[in-house]
Structure 1
Amino acid sequence: MIFKDRGIEIKTREQILTMRKAGLVVGRTLELLRGEVKAGISTAELDAIAEDNIRSSGATPSFKGYHGFTGSICASVNAEIVHGIPGDRVLADGDIISIDCGAIVDGWHGDAAITVPVGTVDQELLDLARVCEESMWRGFAAAKLGGRLYDISAAIENHVRANSSYGIVEDFVGHGIGSAMHQPPNVPNLGRAGRGPKLVEGMALAVEPMLTLGKQDNHTLEDDWTVVTDDGKAAVHTEHSFTLTPQGSWVLTALDGGETELAKLGVSCGALAD
C-alpha cells in the first residue's frame, strides 16, 4: 500500500475490487431500505433490516460501534441533516428521510446515502432531493485523472447554484475511503475548480452533498450525533463512493457502477473487470 502526499491512500487494483464488493453490499442494502420506507415504520426497524442484510452478505456494518454510534445506518428525518441515530421515531406520510449506510468486506469500506420520500411528499422536498442527487453525479462526471479534487466540489456547487437557492452544508463534507471509512482528503461540496490534490488512479473518494431548504446553518443535538438545521427547515443527503480509472469514474456503491447516470451526462463509466 502506497501513501501519496497529504496522507492519501492509494489502492491497488485488487483492493479496489474488494471495495467494489463492499460497495455492492451497501448499494443493495440501500435499495432494500428504499423499498421498506413507509409511514408507520420506525427508524430502528429500518436499522435492523440493514444490519441483517449487511451481515447476511458476509460484511460488517461500518457504523455500528464507530465512536460509540449505536446503529448500522444513520437515519436523518426532515430537518436532520446527518448522523441521525435509529430509534423509536416512526415515519409519517410527508416525511423525508436520508439513510446513510456503510459496510466492510475483508477490511475495505463502502459508504453511500440516499434520500427517500415517505408517502406523499411536498414537491419542494422532492425538488430538493433531486437537485442534491444531480449535483453529486455532476461531481463524478467532472472527475478526471490528472484533474484536481476541487473540480468535483465546483461541479456540485455550480449545479446547485444554477438550479436553486438551497443552502449547501459546509461543515460536513465527503472524504477519502478505503482501509478506513474516513480518510484524507476532505471533499467539500463547494469550491473553485483546479485546486486541491491531483486525482490519480488508486484514489477512492466518498462524495456526499448535503442541501438545506433554508440556510445551511446547523447544530448538533444533545445526543452528540444528530445534526439539524438551525431554522428547522428540511435537509437532504446523497452519497456514493467512487474511484477513477483511465476510462472514467467508477461508482463503487452504485449497483451498475454509475453507468446509467454518467451516460446521461455524456461520460463513460470506468468499471474494472473482475
Structure 2
Amino acid sequence: MPELPEITGLRAFLDDELLGAVVESVRITSFAVLKTADPPYTAVEGRTVTGVARHGKFLDLDVDGIHIVFHLAKAGWLRFTENPSSKPLRPGSGPIAARLTFAVPPRNGRAETQVGFDLTEAGTRKSLAVYVVRDPQEVPGIATLGPDPLDPRFTQETLDGILVGSSQQIKGLLRNQGVIAGIGNAYSDEILHAARISPFAISKSLDSEERTRIFHAIEEVLGQAVTSASGKPPAQLKDAKRGGMRVHGRAGQPCPVCGDTVREVSFADRALQYCPRCQTNGKILADRRTSRFLK
C-alpha cells in the first residue's frame, strides 16, 4: 500500500507534470471506484489543473475548483504515461479502474503535449476509491484525518497527548488514520523498529523516554523515505520503498542493526515484522489473539 512518503512523491511529480494542464478526458472503467455523483466526473473535462495536494494517503487534483480525489488503498497504483492510448477501455477487462488524459500547454521550449495516467488495482478485493467533489472535506476519509506527521505543528507534545490517552496497541494506533494521518502497515513497522518498541506495547504505558524515541523515529523514518521518493517517477517509487525497509517485508532475514532474525506476526489480512533483539528483549511474539507479551 502506498503510504505518506510515496503519496508525497506522487504529489510532487503530478504537480510538476500537470500544473496548468487541461483535463481532456476522464474514463471510469470500474464504476465501483467512483464514490460520488455530484458533480459528475465529466465536469472536470475542459478545466485546468491549478494544484495537487496530499491529505494523509489521499491525492487531490484541484481542477479549477473541482477536486478529483483518489485513494489507492492496498493494491492500487498510478501509472503515468507521456503517450496515452486512444484505444477504448472495456469495463472489467483488466486492472485499469480509471484513465485521465491531459493537454499540457507549451513550456520550457516544448510544444503542447498530451500526457495521462491510469489508476490501476490488482487482486480481487477492490478498495481503490475516486471522489469528485467541490471541497476535499466532503470526502469522509479526509474529514476524519488526524494530524499530519509532516506538519510543523506535529510536535512531541502532540504525540504525547495522543499516546497517553490511548489504550490501543502502539502498532494499531500508528496505523489509525483518525489518530495520525498517512502512516500505514509498512512505515509503522519501520518506526517501531527504529524506536526499539514492541508493536504490542500499550500506548499509554510508554514512558517519556519511549515516547521521545517514537517521535524521533517518526521524523527520521518518514523524512528519509520522503527524501528517497523525491524526484522519482511513479514507476520507481515502489522499488524505492522496498529498498528502504529494514524489517518490513524482511521476515527471516537478518536485522541490519543487530543481526538477529526478523520475525513476523500474521493476521487475517496483513502481517507485521519486527526484530526480537531490538524491540522485545529477545522474546518471540505470538499471534496477538494469544500473546500476553505487551512490552
Q: TM-score, normalised by structure 1?
A: 0.32
Which structure's CA Rg is the greater one?
2
The structure that is strand-richer by fraction is 1
Higher relative contact order by CA 8 Å / sep ≥ 6: 1 or 2? 1
